[in-house]
Amino acid sequence: MSIIITDECINCGACEPECPNNAIYEGAVDWKMSDGTDLSGHVITPSGLSIDADAPQKPISDDVYFIVSDKCTECHGFHEEPQCAAVCPVDCCIPDDNHKETDEQLLSKKNFLHS
């Protein structure tokens, strides 16, 4: 499953540079699927979303840092545990029960992002 950042986030930014997929963005900041990945042009994300990887997307949150679930692999293939959760001083990076994924799905997503 993906990780989410709860409203308890204090906007310290510790998590953002730790993400190997560039899935974490500051609140109110546009994001791109191509940021920190090998993706370019039109792609179909693992969740089935048809998107231009190079086009700016609207922020998921305006108030706190956020994680793009289609880019989050819980650090599978990179680290033993999600690095955002490991460095968060207020423990607000938690599993997203609405985006449950198996280890195989997370590794497949990693391969999709970094082919």
Domains of the chain: 1-115 (3.30.70.20)
Which tokens go with 52?
Answer: 């231009």
Pairing state between β 50-52 and 42-44: antiparallel
Q: Residue 68: which of 39, 101, 30 has the closest Cα?
A: 30
pTM above 0.85, yes or no: yes
Question: Could you tell me how far CA 110 lies from the centroid of its own chain?
Answer: 11
Give CA–CA dist 98/21, Å, rounded. Answer: 20
Tens-place pLDDT, residues 13-57: 999 999 999 999 999 999 999 999 999 999 999 889 999 999 999
Is pLDDT at 1 greater than 90 in this prediction? no
Q: Please give the sequence-ordered ranges of beta strands (E in DSSP) within 1-115, or none if there are none.
A: 3-5, 24-25, 42-44, 50-52, 66-67, 93-95
Longest dimension (CA), the chain: 37
Which tokens go with 104?
Answer: 């195989």
pLDDT band at 99 (very low <50, low <70, confident <90, very high): confident
Give CA–CA dist 29/106, Å, rounded. Answer: 25
